[in-house]
Amino acid sequence: MQSIWNGVKESDHRLSLDKDIKRDIVIVGGGISGLLMGYRLMQSGREATLIEANTLYSGVTHNTTAHLDAMQGYVYSDLIKTSPQKAKLYFQSQLDAIEEYQKIIDTYKIDCDFKRLDSFMFTINDMKKLEEEYNALKEIGADVELVKEKMLNIDIQGAIKLKNQAQFHPIKFLEKLPKEYEIIENTRVLKVDTKNKILYTQKAEIHANIIIIATGFPIIDIPGFYFLKMYKSSSYSIAFKGAKLDAVYQSDLENGLTYRGYDDYVIMGGLDHRTGRLNHKDKFNRLREKAELSFGKELEYTHTWTANDCITADGVPYAGQYSKSRKDIYVMTGYNKWGMTNSMASSKVICDLITQKPNKFIDLFSPQRKKTNPAHCVVNLLSTVKNLVFKPVSFPDRNVDALKPGEGDIVLYEGRKKAVYRDLDNRLYVVEPLCSHLKCQLKFNSETKTWDCPCHGSRFDIYGKIVVSPTTKNLKVHNGKE
């Protein structure tokens, strides 16, 4: 599997860290969040060092569908129930982010296929809820229309139209974004001493004055407790030729589809589920079936890929001080599937906090804000207890001999509980069954051939190597056999 953005990154290589260093500001994470953060600090005159575990923008950023859209499901009708001002501010933060992208792109003449276009959110069977979102958007001043024409060859009940949204090629943008600050690749931060502000890597220590965690799901568990505040969602995307789009679209369903064009391609994404809890198999086949219903059967499928997103209780990101008890440590996370706009907004919030400039979105994005949905934390806690306490001590109901070619499961292997994948040539790949993060029992994702953690969303390949954080350690590997 590879995303449509694959192959654009240039070959410049930044060496890994092999000696102790002292730095003013250290950014952990080399995706779009970390790079925008580095750019902001550079523009403000502050010196920063960015640390990336692998290579730049090779993780979540590489697997985005790259919508720049202020219309984001039913977030505004939810927010407005508790705070119309919060809903209005969040909408403005997203519009401002799109404007900031255009400003940067125009200033540096970045050729990244940036394009302004209309956005539509449609419903097939819940017009009442769609009208509630439309009314919420109108109340906060959004220039929206309610339309009922057929779109994407789908019989819809109606759609909300928001003009002047955008799309772009994220890797082309990041390649040309100025990076006049220190970048260290292939250096995974394994542990952070939050009291003394020391980051420990494979071979060295980094002493910092300020630390910014921009790793997607935060790699520091305590303080902060982000594993109770968020969960990871997995989604699936395909790209194909044979059709074109001149607008962006999203279904109103929580696990619904998004549609956008790029050059001669159409990109479709969706079918989300909580990471580690694959609800239906054949995700990519289902996407192809949906594509053919909308665009016909004469399509050339070229790319398939998956993404992982952090979901917060109220649909608003966390950007600000990591914890009340830790000064000069910041976090940017919880983008709720809208990482392009929210990474831009979050980088501005944190930069203004560090440089002590006013920013009207600081309280909105604060990780210490009052939660609007306490049940969200309870659900996360119950899920963690189930997979952290009960599942690890349960006995496998299958033996390794029962695994079919192409199948993975937690089974009994040589008298012990292991995570085992049998490939199509009957070779076994055997790793520890518990996540190296907090020891939750893993589950096999047959779509991606990965071991996924249902507690906090870490993912590993069949060799036990990290695919997605918050874990910082690979799984212990046991010898497989024919």
Cis peptide before 367 (omega within 30 of 0): no
The token duo for 205 is: 């220590």
Beta bridge mates, 64:
none
Domain stop point among 277, 307, 337: 307
Contacts of 340 (CB under 8 A, 6+ apart): 32, 64, 66, 67, 68, 97, 101, 168, 170
> Which of 4-13, 129-138, 168-177 shows the lowest per-residue confidence on average (mean pLDDT)?
4-13
Q: Is 339 within a domain?
A: yes
CATH number at 300 reads 3.30.9.10
Reported residue count of the chain is 482
Same domain, 75 and 148: yes
Mean pLDDT value of segment 254-266:
90
Quick check: is 381 in a domain? no
pLDDT of residue 150: 85
At 24, the pLDDT band (50, 70, 90 cuts) reads very high
Task: Report the chain's terminal Cα–Cα distance, integer Å.
Answer: 25
pLDDT category of residue 454 using cuts at 50, 70 and 90: confident
Pairing of strands 477-478, 21-28: unpaired
Q: How many Å apart are CA 331 and CA 215, to the nearest integer?
A: 9
Instruction: Choose between 383 and 350: higher pLDDT.
Output: 350
CA–CA distance from 375 to each of 225, 229, 258, 382 (Å)? 16, 10, 28, 10
Looking only at the bridges linking them, the beta strands covering 326-333 and 205-213 are parallel
> How does 38-76 read in b/e, with b if 16+ C-beta sit within 10 Å?
bbbbbeeebebbbbbbeebbbbbbbbbbbbbbbbbbbbb
Look at the block and give the residue holding tokens 């994948």: 421
Q: Is residue 282 part of a domain?
A: yes
pLDDT of residue 11: 52
H or E element at residue 374: helix 374-385
Task: Report d(CA 341, CA 338) in Å as an integer.
Answer: 6
Helices (H), 152-305: 170-176, 226-229, 283-295
Q: How confident is the model at residue 219 (pLDDT cuts 50, 70, 90)?
A: confident
CA 54 to chain centre: 16
Mean pLDDT of the chain: 89
Do both 266 and 192 map to the same domain? no
302 contacts 4 by C-beta, under 8 angstroms? yes
Query: Would you give the DSSP letter of residue 216?
Result: S
Q: Crossing angle of helices 339-354/84-108, nearest 10°?
A: 90
Predicted local distance difference test score (pLDDT) of residue 482: 46
Q: What is the distance, to the nearest Å, from the Cα of residue 214 to the centroid of all Cα atoms in its chain?
A: 11
Q: How far apart are CA 86 and CA 73, in angstroms?
A: 16
Per the listing, tokens 């009208």 go with 131
Confidence tier at 378 by pLDDT (50, 70, 90): low
User: CA 9 to CA 418: how far, in whole Å?
Assistant: 37
User: Strand, coil or helix: what is 159?
Assistant: strand
Q: Give me the pLDDT at residue 469, please.
A: 79
**% of the chain surpassing 90 pLDDT:** 63
Nearest alpha carbon to residue 441 among 430, 451, 429, 427: 451
Domain CATH for 467: 2.102.10.10
Q: How many domains does the chain have?
A: 3
Q: Indicate if 185 and 243 belong to the same structural domain.
A: no
Question: Which pLDDT belongs to residue 391?
Answer: 62
User: Chain-centre distance of CA 433, in angstroms?
Assistant: 24
Task: Enumerate the H helices of 74-147 as residue ranges.
Answer: 75-82, 84-108, 127-139
CA distance 444 to 459: 10
Per-position b or e across 168-179, b if 16+ CB within 10 A of its CB? bbbbbbbbbbeb
What residue numbers bound the domain in which 334 lies? Answer: 21-64+172-228+315-373
Region 350-356: what's the mean pLDDT?
97
Rounded to whole angstroms, the Cα distance separating 429 from 423 reads 8
Domain match, 52 and 76 both: no
In a domain, 332, yes or no: yes
Report residue 266 as tokens. 């159409």
State both tokens at 463: 């060799």
Domain assignment present for 177: yes
Count Cβ atoms below 10 Å from residue 283 Cβ, excluding itself.
25
Lowest mean pLDDT among 101-110, 113-122, 233-242, 269-278: 269-278
Q: Are residues 75 and 149 in the same domain?
A: yes
pLDDT for residue 342:
97
The arithmetic mean of pLDDT across residues 158-178, rounded, is 96
* pLDDT in the model for residue 204: 94
Greater model confidence, 231 or 45: 45
Residue for token pair 């969960």: 231
Low-confidence winner among 131-140, 179-188, 263-272, 278-287 (lowest mean pLDDT): 278-287
Q: Both 248 and 274 in a single domain? A: yes
Mean pLDDT of the region 452-464 = 88
* 11 belongs to a structural domain: no
Residues 6+ apart with CB under 8 A from 125: 157
Q: Which of 251, 277, 307 is the last residue of a domain?
A: 307
Q: Do 320 and 408 fall within a single domain?
A: no
In the block, tokens 């001080």 appear at 321
Closest CA to 325 of 229, 223, 226: 223
Instruction: Report cis status (omega within 30 of 0) of the bond before 405.
Output: no
Residue 219 sits in the same domain as residue 336? yes
Over range 112-140, report the average pLDDT: 96
Cβ atoms of 430 and 422 within 8 Å: the answer is no
pLDDT score, position 384? 59
Confidence (pTM): 0.87
461, 467, 470, 475 alpha-carbon torsion, rounded to 10°: 30
| Same structural domain, 145 and 212 | no
Name the range with the highest mean pLDDT among 21-25, 268-272, 273-277, 412-416.
Answer: 21-25
Retrieve residue 372's tokens. 């609007």
Are 76 and 138 part of one and the same domain?
yes
**Is 49 within the bounds of a domain?**
yes
Domain finish residue from 345, 373, 401: 373
- pLDDT tens digit sequence for 292-341: 999 998 999 999 999 888 889 899 999 999 888 888 999 999 999 999 99
Tokens describing residue 388: 């952290």
Q: Would residue 328 count as lying in a domain?
A: yes
Quick one: which of 34, 54, 38 has its CA closest to 46? Answer: 38
- Do 417 and 456 lie in a common domain? yes
Taking alpha carbons only, the member of 427, 434, 423 closest to residue 464 is: 434
In this structure, the answer to whether residues 457 and 406 fall within a common structural domain is yes
CATH of the domain at 32: 3.50.50.60
Specify the higher pLDDT residue, 435 or 481: 435
